[in-house]
Amino acid sequence: MKNKWKIGFLILLGINLLFAIIIVSLMMFPSEGPETSKTKGLVGEHVSFHVKSNKNDLNQLINHYLKEEALGSIDYQVILGDEVELYGTMPFFSEELNMKLTFKPSALENGDLVLKQKSMTIGSLHLPISYVLNFISGNYKIPKGVEIRPKDKLIYINMQQLKLKSDIKLKADKFDLKKDDIGFTILVPVK
């Protein structure tokens, strides 16, 4: 009978040792971290944030951006009302003529913004729109990503080419000035 107790004791001891070895080995293996395939996909890409804005805040931001880009020699300003208004001066012989251009904005599916020429006044002169847009393009410092197309009577803004701090990119989602419904996607790089 001593052998049965010895065999039983050894089997119970073996089960306990096996159980202890399994527990210790599980504790020694590292816990699962984030999957490398998920983090690999984020390197060099952007994380997006959706932002809703209004005309007042956007007016301040646009004109601050224009002043920064022109390095203090700004000759024009943009005001958002029911439409986009561009104010500036234009030399005419020895005089400076005030000009006002109005545009109808629309956000494109790719996130860019198009400003279609709506009206124009330069002092009391009526000049062709394409001439004025050519003049603006040649005489004003235009930020990178803003393309003036005189023949099409529009200004095309490639939102992702605008130079912003920390390589942040923008996409226009909505741009309805009459309803003050302005929405952007901010793309923040994840490196």
pLDDT, one tens digit per residue, over 43-94 is 457 788 888 988 888 888 887 777 776 544 446 788 899 999 888 877 777 7
Strand 45-53 with 76-80, pairing: unpaired
pTM exceeds 0.85:
no
φ, ψ of residue 164 to 5 degrees: the values are -120, 160
Query: For residue 172, how many C-alpha atoms fall within 13 Å in the half-sphere facing its CB?
Result: 22
Of 153, 73, 90, nearest in space to 124 by CA: 90
